[in-house]
Amino acid sequence: MKLTDNVLRSFRVAKVFRENSDKINCFDFSPNGETVISSSDDDSIRVQLFLLPPDRPKRTLYSKKYGVDLIRYTHAANTVVYSSNKIDDTIRYLSLHDNKYIRYFPGHTKRVVALSMSPVDDTFISGSLDKTIRLWDLRSPNCQGLMHLQGKPVCSFDPEGLIFAAGVNSEMVKLYDLRSFDKGPFATFKMQYDRTCEWTGLKFSNDGKLILISTNGGFIRLIDAFKGAVLHTFGGYNNSKAVTLEASFTPDSQFIMIGSEDGKIHVWNGESGMKVAVLDGKHTGPITCLQFNPKFMTFASACSNMAFWLPTIDD
């Protein structure tokens, strides 16, 4: 099945998981699309089996002491990295199989607000309110690279894992070559600064041609990954309380989606810039997390509940 405007408009909630007592702050699909792992402000880590119909999580773990945020699958089976939102700002590498920490990555002195796993190897990057971006390798607790910035960073790898982008101070995007990042960015794109909001996320499309910038305001921006030109600014969704809402591409790089504080999901065509759908998932709070499954025709959205969506027509 190919994603089209009509198929996107046909998506409906097929299943809702209601185990969390507080908001889900992050989730991530496994590379094979079969499970989704979530982190929540209730300190829980839950693994949902995505293809089977059980109503309870396959696995629930807790990180009561340190809290858990920005959870990401690594390439090794049953392992994740995540940031802490209590006590310290260390990043933790956890084996889900036996609920044991494999390694700790200390260094940040303020909360980690961005975490991106390389799509190809054991490298990952983190950005923190301490105004640094750190480059890591899962095999070593020592930071492999350190960049000092002028402000709060957001960062992400490109789909080939060769470059990464850093959004700095909510006004510029810097592109770095992973092999020579210490020489500084090879491209810098200055954006119009908007003092009504700040950038909260940055993602590449799967074809590597586009970058999506999320904000805690009422708009998101789509830019050309090679030239930095703003292609579209998408708005018209509710975010009056400056919530961090996750925006995402569909796997074919054609559509852009974001949830809103009233529980609805807005979808645009990335090429035309036109809004193609507004989907109502009956969420009880702001949809803070939203991602399309990398392998299957389905996506998930989350407030304190997590909803799985399926299309209802064949196009």
Helical spans, DSSP H, in the chain: 5-9
Least confident residue range of 83-92, 118-127, 128-137? 83-92
List the CATH number of the domain containing 219: 2.130.10.10
Measure the CA–CA gap between 288 and 248, rounded to whole angstroms: 12
The pTM assigned to this predicted structure is 0.90
Please give the residue that has the higher pLDDT: either 60 or 217.
217
With pLDDT > 90 as the criterion, what percentage of the chain qualifies? 54
Residue ranges making up the domain that contains 156: 5-311
Is residue 287 within 8 Å of residue 301, measured between CB atoms? yes
pLDDT digits (tens, 9 = 90+) for 212-253: 999 999 999 999 999 999 999 999 998 988 888 999 999 999
Measured CA to CA, the distance from residue 256 to residue 201 in angstroms comes to 14
Q: Which residues of 157-166 are buried (b: 16+ CB within 10 A; e: fewer)?
A: bbbeeebbbb
Q: How far apart are CA 177 and CA 185, in angstroms?
A: 7
Percent of the chain's residues with pLDDT above 70:
93
Integer Cα distance of 280 and 287 in angstroms:
11
Cα gap 49→66, rounded to integer Å: 25
Beta bridge partners of 268: 256, 275
Chain segment 152-192, per-residue pLDDT in tens: 899 999 999 999 999 988 899 999 998 888 888 999 999 88
Query: In whole angstroms, what is the distance from residue 277 CA to residue 285 CA?
Result: 20
pLDDT tens digits, one per residue of 233-243: 999 998 988 88
Residue owning tokens 């690594």:
74
> Using CA of residue 169, residue 174, residue 178, residue 184, what is the dihedral sign?
negative
Report residue 86 CA to chain centroid gap. Answer: 20
CA distance 38 to 61: 10
What is the C-alpha to C-alpha distance for residues 126 and 63, in angstroms, rounded to an integer? 20
Asked if residue 201 has pLDDT above 90, the reply is yes
Contact 178, 163 (CB under 8 A): yes
Run of H or E including 235? strand 230-235
Q: Which amino acid does the sequence have at 294? A: P
Domains identified in the chain, total number:
1
Kindly state the average pLDDT of the residues 273-280. Answer: 95
Token representation of residue 72? 């990401």
pLDDT (0 to 100) of residue 53: 52
